[in-house]
Amino acid sequence: MKVIVNIQLKNGVLDPQGKAVHHALSSLKFNEINEVRIGKQIILDIDENDKIKAEQRVTTMCDELLANTVIEDYTIEFPAC
């Protein structure tokens, strides 16, 4: 089963990488951009057929390793196959 984990900084946490990209876009005349936030995406192929069990396992993975839950939020998605 494919699982997608999207991780992004929580609101209020400074994003220096996003600021740098915003500045670069602005210097290239993409002035319509108001803000840039950089995140990461992790795609897992998990050996589980039960969606509820898979979500529980991936939540544990995120809480213990994949995300820094002090400063990051995450979402878990199950793409249609």
Reported as a single tens digit per residue, the pLDDT across 14-66 is 999 999 999 999 999 999 999 999 999 999 999 999 999 999 999 999 999 99
Kind and range of the H or E run holding 56? helix 51-61
> Is the overall model pTM greater than 0.85, yes or no?
yes
Cβ atoms of 72 and 7 within 8 Å: the answer is yes
Residues whose CB is less than 8 angstroms from the CB of residue 61 and which lie 6 or more positions away in sequence, other chains included: 5, 44
Domains of the chain: 2-77 (3.30.1280.10)
Find where tokens 């793409």 sit. Answer: 79
Residue 80 predicted with pLDDT over 90: no
